[in-house]
Amino acid sequence: MDSGDECADVVHGDYFMGGMMVINGLMAIVLLLSGLFHSFLRRLGQPSIISHILAGIVVGPTFLGRAVDLRRLGMQNAGSALGDTIYYLRIIFMFFLGLEMDLRYLRHNLRRSLLLACGGSAISLLLAVAAGPFFYGMLHPGTGTFYPQKLYTSTALFMLVLTSTASPVLIRIVTELKLTTSETGQLAIGAAFATDIASLTAISMMVVNPTTFGQDGRPLPKRSSSSCSTQLLLFLWMAFVVCVAVAVAVRAARLINRVKRGRQYTSKYELLAMLMLIVVLSLAVQFMGYSASMAAFLIGLAVPRDGPLARTLVDRLTYPVHQLVMPLCFGAIGARLDFGEIGRFTATQFAFAVVFTTVVSSAGKVGGTVLVGRWLGISAREALVLGFLLNVKGYSDILAINFADKSNVWGDTAQVVLVVASIINTFMAGPASAAIVRQQRRAFKYRSHCLQDLRVEQELRVLVCVHGAGGVQAMLTLAELSKGSSAPVAVYLLHLVELQTARKYAITHLYKDVHSSSSGSGSKQEEAQWGYSWEMDQVTAAVHGFATYDAAVPVRQMTAISSLASMDADVRNGVEDARASLVIVPFHKEQRYDGRMVSRRDGDSRRQLNQRILERAPCTVGILVERRLPSMSISILVTPERDLPSILHQEEEQQQESMEEGEEAVAVQQHQVVAVFLSGADDREAVAYATRLSAHPSVSVSVSRFMLPEEEEETSRNRSRRGMSEEEAEDEEFMAEVRARFVSSGQVSYTERYVSNGVETLESLSSMVGECSLFVVGRGGGEGGGGAARAAMTRGMAGLDEEECLAELGAVGELLASDDFVGCCASVLVLQQHKLHRRMKTWKKQQSHSQSQSHSHSHSQLGGRVLSFPDDIFQ
């Protein structure tokens, strides 16, 4: 007897261990396949949820389930096994889903967002009411006795599936399309929040006392009476239970925030205790008859977004939830789908059902959104983008399909059709929106003029980029100097905000309105500094502080939030939107208190960003190495202790005092600018920009041209190719025009310096130290390099090899920006003429050369002379 019990224990232990190994293997396969699928599908603009569901389908009964029979281990299928294993993780996931939906984000464009949400949902509801009975009859033919209540329930759930919008999925698509800071992106996120909250509220009401159907379609008896009064009392009881659970969670969150006041994050023990409390409260609500997942979602929706607890939840849970929990949750949904159960339907019938559902869903959402968008004055293309974005699925519709599965409303075929249709709708949203956005940007695409071809009296459009408030003063000072005395200039400031990977998709939490909280206690100030709004407000305050006098040039401010790896695309988009001829970006090093240039923690990433901008920008690019460039206005120190309203109030008081005392509001400062010219297109661009600066009354410009001695110049010309002689001719023509227009009138001073190598160039540049506040030089090298003459004048400069030089600054720029260049306290602006202009010139040369060769048959050579004949003499 004892031996039999022992054998039974051993068998039971092996049975349990085998099940654990299978579950772990299934989860590992889902995570692995999800990553592989997403690495491919993200190139097509697809969100990660598509990859998660596809990975679940692979491990489900359709593919892997046919090879491995899980019923031998007591499991129904892979979907139920994964779902039961991650049951508690699903509660955490639903809580985080509610936490991601920051209702304060709806305050941005509230009216328009609600109208767009109502417009798309209204048309979808009408189509769902009309097509719901047809959908049910098409996928449930010959089910025996007809029960109207099941048809009504099916139509109601069908309406819920078609009208839903997955706001977390939409946020991912909007972030990848770089529409987060645009009005279109903010409208889409706001409308998605409104639709998602309405859909989840409807599901919350349906799960209070659901109707379950038997296999024959007959409604099963409910757990309580179906009278209206009983239903109302039950609903009120469930609402009371949920409100108590939410109140307890909110009270605990505020208690933790009070205990941790003044700290940025809570400890891991407090975080674990809060998560355990959420799970316990959700299970308690489920014990009282409500859904644990929906209770967790409502708790997440109500948890305060301020304080160290919210920061800890967002920062600590974003990565594991999105990278581990979410793939398993949606993988479990995909693993429940069995395409083998549609055997009684032909492939044509199944495809027709999928196409029908997809068309009805797309027509309702896209059509309704476009109609309301046009009524609101939104352009047709932007309204079409909004329609496709609001048609993404993945959360509320999946919950509705699971609810229908538990209530036995739909069969397996209907569930497969709806999930496949949801995948197709989401699959279409990304590429369709991206195609429309690209087409819209191509429609407004411009062709930039290089500074060399831009006349001084023509408008100069400048885009300056900053990473923070500290770089605003120097950038705007340089842009203001570019306006000259009467030449028009349009200045655009692009604030580049780095989007952290851990918080990549928690974008709505980072748009916090901090004006009301930044003047409070230390915890309030710390809360204000966590989001992106604090950083944006500092830049706004710095811009306002620069423009405190009447002569200041107007500045149009823009913001781009993305990772440093893709931020060059935001700069290119900003250049096209501003139609700029010049974009200026900050150097990746900053000047320290002792005068040395040091790299920030993310200096390498910023350096690579500058290199990509130089390579891909469609206009002239400048890199500013800033060394205390004198400002045109009184700069304002922006610190966390000084909020924006107090800064503005202090500025108004200073202006009133200065007006009463009769003092001048602006003290004109003299800027000494030296433009260094060696050879090549980049140096011509630098001199052209310096001549524009010379028109400003407070700027004195000197052009220093470096040339080889007569014998060295002749030797290098003999070794140069024919193309180099053409470039030298362009240099001579350009400099002759500069001397005629600017030097002869005394507007620009001009000197020539003869050097033979880099050492003499270094000595000549050293003699200019202390005489100027800004060097303007060309990058040189590559396509705009200046050839053999420039190479000879920079060879051996300071003992640096080409590999040691900073590629983005060139030899001369790297020398002037180096700490080893003793005594240099001047800022350096390195310019590169945009490559499109060079390629067009090269193409024109090639065209003219080919035309000359095609007409060579019209020429006859006699006695060493070329005799030309008219082209029509041979006709």
DSSP class per residue in 780-849:
-SGGGS-HHHHHHHHTTGGG--TTTS-TTTHHHHHHHHSTTSTT---EEEEEE--HHHHHHHHHHHHHHH
CA dist 797 → 141, 759, 761, 822, 829 (Å): 85, 5, 7, 14, 19
pLDDT score, position 874:
29
User: What is the mean pLDDT of the segment spanning 181-195?
Assistant: 82
Residue 835 or residue 857, greater confidence: 835
pLDDT in tens, 816-853: 888 777 566 788 999 998 765 555 454 444 444 444 44
Give the whole-angstrom CA distance, residue 620 versus residue 489: 16
pLDDT at position 851 is 47
- What's the mean pLDDT in 730-751? 89
CATH code that applies to domain 452-652: 3.40.50.620
pLDDT of residue 523: 47
Taking only the tens place, the pLDDT of each residue in 659-708 is 444 444 344 457 889 999 988 888 899 999 998 888 888 888 999 998 88
Domain locations in the chain as residue ranges? 97-219+226-320+352-439, 452-652, 670-845
118 close to 199: Cβ distance less than 8 angstroms:
no
Residue 64 has pLDDT above 70, yes or no: yes
What does the pLDDT read at residue 250?
Answer: 93
When comparing pLDDT for 725 and 196, which is higher?
196
Residue 118: its pLDDT value, please? Answer: 92
pLDDT at 5 over 60: no
Share of the chain above pLDDT 90, in %: 13
247: pLDDT strictly greater than 90: yes
Q: How far apart are CA 546 and CA 552, in angstroms?
A: 8
What amino acid is encoded at 344 in this protein? R
**How many other C-beta atoms lie within 10 A of the C-beta of residue 824?**
22
Q: Do domains 452-652 and 670-845 have the same CATH topology?
A: yes
**CATH ID of 97-219+226-320+352-439, from 3.30.200.20, 1.20.58.710, 3.40.50.970, 1.20.1530.10:** 1.20.1530.10
Choose between 658 and 329: higher pLDDT: 329
CB proximity list for 758: less than 8 A, separation 6 or greater: 793, 794, 795, 796, 797, 798, 811
Prediction pTM value: 0.63
* Predicted pLDDT at 563: 81
Could you tell me the end-to-end alpha-carbon distance of the chain, in angstroms, rounded to an integer?
A: 117
Look at residue 251 and tell me whether its pLDDT is greater than 90: yes
Q: Which of 41-50, 53-62, 126-135, 339-348 has the lowest mean pLDDT?
A: 339-348
- Which range is most confident: 70-74, 782-786, 850-854? 70-74
pLDDT band at 254; cut points 50, 70, 90: very high
299-354 residue pLDDT tens: 988 998 878 888 888 888 888 888 889 899 888 888 877 777 676 677 888 889 89
562-586 confidence digits (pLDDT tens): 888 888 888 988 888 788 889 999 9
Q: How many CB atoms lie within 10 A of CB 236?
A: 11
pLDDT for 171 equals 79
pLDDT tens readout for residues 365-388:
999 999 999 998 888 888 888 898
Question: 15-29, 117-131, 569-583 — which one is most confidently predicted on average?
Answer: 117-131
CA–CA gap between residue 709 and residue 595 (Å, rounded) = 36
pLDDT at 723: 47
3-state secondary structure 726-784: HHHHHHHHHHHHHHHHHHCCCCEEEEEEECCCHHHHHHHHHCCCCCCCEEEEECCCHHH
Average pLDDT of the residues of the chain: 76
pLDDT of residue 181: 63
User: What CATH code is assigned to 670-845?
Assistant: 3.40.50.620
Higher pLDDT, 460 or 849: 460
Percent share of the chain, pLDDT over 70: 74
What are 480-526's pLDDT values in tens digits?
888 766 667 888 899 988 876 555 555 555 555 444 444 444 444 44
> CB count, 10 Å around CB of 390?
29
Q: Which pLDDT score, from 0 to 100, does residue 73 have?
A: 65
- The pLDDT tens digits for 391-428 are 888 778 888 888 888 888 887 788 888 888 988 888 88
Whether 439 has a pLDDT exceeding 60, the answer reads yes
Q: pLDDT band for 356, please (50, 70, 90 cuts).
A: very high
Q: What is the DSSP string of 334-346?
A: HHT--GGGGTTS-
